[in-house]
A and B are shown apart, each in its own frame.
Chain A
Amino acid sequence: MSAETNEVSSRALLSSDASNRSALERSHLDLETAEKPYLDSNELIINMGPQHPATHGVLRVILKLDGERVLGTECVIGYLHRGVEKIAENRTYTMFNPYVDRMDYCAAVSNGLGYCEAVEKLLNVVAPPRAQYIRVILTELNRIASHQLWLGTHALDIGAMTPLFYTFRDREEILKIFEKYCGARLTTHAFRIGGCQYETYAGFEKDVNNFLTFFAPKIDEYETLLTTNRIWLERTKNVGVISGADAIALGVTGPVLRASGVKWDLRKAQPYAAYSEFDFEIPVGTNGDTYDRYLVRMEEMRQSMRIIEQAVSRIPEGAIMGKVPKVIKPPVGEIYHSIEAPKGELGYFIVSDGSTQPYRLRVRPPSFVNLQALDVMVRGLLVADVVAVIGTIDIVLGEVDR
């Protein structure tokens, strides 16, 4: 790293020090009282990423270190910026639908659900119940898949290689169901505005049920590897702590918020799709540390299985497509709709000018907002913890940068 960049980034770090002080005094107080370096040693500024194995893509974090202790961070993002919002303004509502899958590609179904529901809201139509159920099943399957991916990579960051392969093995079963349903595995484009494009294939319920019976012991298998593992506990307990108040102030949502003790899940708070019809719990943590976030996500997978089980057993008959015009032309107006994506609140703010293309489409990406909390979470920790915390926030750079 050149001296020039050093200077720029350290200036940026200093200025961000001054900024958040009012709202986040706790973490900054820690920084203030941290031992001053005894010798006249230069603070080390190292550049983590964008080509770094543990930054989950092309995240670049500039770390200011004293030895191995983190004095401050600055995230440099945008390496994967594709201008999704600009593209939306130049595509029709239908044409834009596949693009949303490319944001959080680990949870493409959730992205699609959020988008379709937002446009439906703008159109003032509701998808028929059967479509709602299919949506719930696929979205929850995707939530499990996303959490599996998170678990594998997070464990890999902390040094446990093996869980990655176990989670990928089991994620494969979910992807198979997606593939059988809509032909795609990752960027599924499963839903359409007004409902679903495809009726479930013959044996869909059986496949999903098979997956549930297959997967239940697998979660226990993951937990056997990690939950009571001494090293795992040492590496995750009291690491990257964020209090509930700080989390709310920083707009953190999803499992990260819930692990800090805030019992808030959009599926319960403002139910969308068919979620109000299912019985499930919201797992909540107490300490807001990396371990709690791990536990919360593990429990979320179990709760997702509960939802899927109920949905599959009660899936109603009927149409899968609502009465939506061929050409989607919502009335003039603007709408904000958000869903609980695996990573947090995924919102779509759409402004319509009455034409076939969105006048303005804003995506509220959970990863982007959650990533902002990284600085608060890692100050005063060690380099190794930065990796653990990046993992635990569960970011997907496709969504951060859009």
Chain B
Amino acid sequence: MNPALNSALSINSGMAPVATPWFFYALAGMAVLSGVFVITRRNAVHAALALIITLLSVAGLYLMLYAPFVAGVQIIVYAGGIMVLFLFVIMLVNIERSSKERAFNRMWPVGLAAAGALMVLFASAIVKGSHINDMFRDRLMPLPESTNTQQIASLLYGEAGRMGQYTFAFEIASLLLLVAILGAVIMTKKKI
């Protein structure tokens, strides 16, 4: 483990050092593998289950990055909420018919090219950063004393007496979502 990370860890002694490379590789591998399953499984329910595993692995990666709040929200919102709705919809769809359809459409070479380009980018970053930690060294900030939850809160809502950086944007976004919810309700229900 690199020394910078070690020193970063020692700042926050409350956190146990679970961030071993093994955990990372296990989680990342699971995420990639299940991600592949998501797009290759013909049965939509199997794909959805694989997607849940992807989301949970990503939540684990967030935990390793000392962002527990994001991990928790990931589990609640994506794995617990959205995926249940996904399954809900999938179950109402005729599985027999959809499983006979082709899993890929004609755009797949384009998608493959995009994915390949992204992979090259990541690979170059890894190759460049593998022997010198310099590339990310100046980015590696010591962890702040406050927890991740409080950081997010202060960014969104501000601290005592000071408005947060994103308060306005956040509120606008939530208003937009509320409008979307109301719109959806009105569109689907004739009488409420």
Contact = CB atoms under 8 A, between A and B. Distances in A.
B162 interface: no
Nearest to A35: B190
A41 B190 contact: no
Interface string B86-113: 0000001010000000000000000000
A35 B188 CA distance: 12
A348 B174 CA distance: 72
Contacts of A41: 92
Size band of the interface chain B makes with A:
under 10
Nearest to A40: B94
Contacts of B94: 42
A23 B72 CA distance: 60
A35 B94 CA distance: 22
Interface string B168-192: 0000000000000000000010100
Contacts of B188: 38
A38 B188 CA distance: 9
Contacts of A42: 94
Contacts of A38: 188
Contacts of B190: 35
Interface in A37-87: 38, 41-42
A240 B190 CA distance: 25
A35 B190 CA distance: 9
Size band of the interface chain A makes with B:
under 10
Contacts of A35: 190
Contacts, number: 4
Nearest to B94: A42
A42 B94 CA distance: 9
Contacts of B92: 41
Nearest to A42: B94
A42 B96 CA distance: 13
B106 to A, nearest CB: 26
Interface in A244-266: none
A35 B191 CA distance: 11
A76 to B, nearest CB: 27
A38 B92 CA distance: 13
A38 B190 CA distance: 11
Nearest to B188: A38
B184 to A, nearest CB: 13
A168 B92 CA distance: 43
Interface string B70-82: 0000000000000
A41 B92 CA distance: 8
A35 B189 CA distance: 10
A35 B92 CA distance: 18
A41 B91 CA distance: 12
A380 to B, nearest CB: 15
A42 B190 CA distance: 21
B111 to A, nearest CB: 29
A105 to B, nearest CB: 42
B99 to A, nearest CB: 17
A38 B189 CA distance: 10
A45 to B, nearest CB: 15
A74 B161 CA distance: 69
B91 to A, nearest CB: 11
A24 to B, nearest CB: 25
Nearest to B191: A35
B73 to A, nearest CB: 31
Nearest to A67: B92
A162 B78 CA distance: 41
A42 B97 CA distance: 13
A226 to B, nearest CB: 32
A41 B190 CA distance: 18
A67 to B, nearest CB: 9
A41 B89 CA distance: 12
A247 to B, nearest CB: 30
A38 B94 CA distance: 16
A41 B188 CA distance: 15
Interface string B125-168: 00000000000000000000000000000000000000000000
A22 to B, nearest CB: 30
Nearest to A41: B92
A190 to B, nearest CB: 55
A13 to B, nearest CB: 22
A181 B190 CA distance: 63
B185 to A, nearest CB: 14
Interface in A70-123: none
B101 to A, nearest CB: 16
Interface string A1-44: 00000000000000000000000000000000001001001100
Nearest to A38: B188
A319 to B, nearest CB: 69
Interface string B13-32: 00000000000000000000
A113 B184 CA distance: 63
A333 B133 CA distance: 111
B61 to A, nearest CB: 37
Nearest to B92: A41
B191 to A, nearest CB: 10
A392 to B, nearest CB: 28
A125 B94 CA distance: 69
4 contacts: A35-B190, A38-B188, A41-B92, A42-B94
Sorted from nearest, which 4 A-B pairs have the closest CB atoms?
Answer: A41-B92, A35-B190, A38-B188, A42-B94
